[in-house]
């Protein structure tokens, strides 16, 4: 529908990445994903770890980044810890990986080499299959 010459945006017609950009995220969203993804015994621990992101003034978009970290962690606390560390250095990396997975694929030798170098910079062991 037209609205003053502008087409009205409807979230259901947008890609996941576009929805993330215009849809606000809340603490309730983060808690719901933690409850869905991790065992009950880990909920408090996972939330405490997630809450280490967003403390500093330069750590922006707290809930959006926390949701990206949760998506990337795939229910694995060790991965969660690693992605929190990466987000604290540059939150844009986790947003890119979570919201643009096709573009973030390591499908060329150049991309794999850049990823290995980034892992070295963060002191993280790159995956064996890389």
The CA distances from residue 24 to 73, 78, 99, 128, in Å, are 21, 27, 15, 37
What is the tens place of the pLDDT at every residue in 18-73?
Answer: 555 556 899 999 999 999 999 999 999 999 999 999 999 999 999 999 999 999 99
What is the tens place of the pLDDT at every residue in 69-98?
Answer: 999 999 999 999 999 999 999 999 999 999
Say what angle helices 77-89 and 43-50 make with each other, to 10 degrees. 10
């Amino acid at each position: 529908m037209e609205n003053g010459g502008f087409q009205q945006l409807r979230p259901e017609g947008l890609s996941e990445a576009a929805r993330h950009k215009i849809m606000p995220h809340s603490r309730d969203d983060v808690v719901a994903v933690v409850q869905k993804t991790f065992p009950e015994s880990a909920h408090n621990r996972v939330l405490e770890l997630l809450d280490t992101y967003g403390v500093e003034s330069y750590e922006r978009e707290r809930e959006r980044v926390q949701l990206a970290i949760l998506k990337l962690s795939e229910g694995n606390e060790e991965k969660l810890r690693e992605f929190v560390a990466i987000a604290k250095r540059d939150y844009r990396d986790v947003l890119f990986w979570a919201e643009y997975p096709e573009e973030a694929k390591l499908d060329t030798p150049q991309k794999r080499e850049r990823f290995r170098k980034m892992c070295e910079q963060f002191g993280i062991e790159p995956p064996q299959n890389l």
